[in-house]
Amino acid sequence: MKNDSEINMLCIAAEGIICNQTNNSTFWRKMPCKWTNGYSLEIALLLSVFLGMFGLDRFYLGYPGIGLAKLCTLGFMFLGQLLDIILIAAQVVGPSDGSAYIIPYYGAGVTVVRSDNETYLLPQADWHNIT
């Protein structure tokens, strides 16, 4: 079951950026906690590379329909296998239950940013008209 809890986290802005609220380069932000059901990124990637033509990567991640289609078509003539290797390595395709992968390091995970009312660019006062 998904855990919708959040944590209040101290963040540091990039060098040279001063935050309006704190008058320094640090600020607090609520971040969602990542939860997992035990799916390993390494196992998913290895299954995709070596047995992806049979759909075992998709069966492992909880997508039995796509796994069966890959099994019957040899990974969509190996193009689907190549595409899944890229998508799993970039963490675009994750477990079907929405959980995060277990990764063996404390590195960056990929977060898909979609454009909405919060993420579009607002014109700034120091932008100059280029004609």
Rounded Cα distance, 89 and 26, in Å: 32
The pLDDT of residue 11 = 84
CA trace torsion 94, 67, 104, 13 (10° rounding): -20
The pLDDT of residue 45 = 95
CB 36 within 8 A of CB 99: yes
pTM: 0.66
The pLDDT of residue 23 = 87
Q: Which residues are CB-neighbours of 5 under 8 A, at least 6 positions away?
A: 32, 33
The list of the chain residues with pLDDT below 70 reads 1-4, 106-115, 118-124, 127-131
- Beta strand pairing call for 26-32 and 6-12: antiparallel
Rounded Cα distance, 45 and 89, in Å: 6
Rounded Cα distance, 29 and 6, in Å: 10
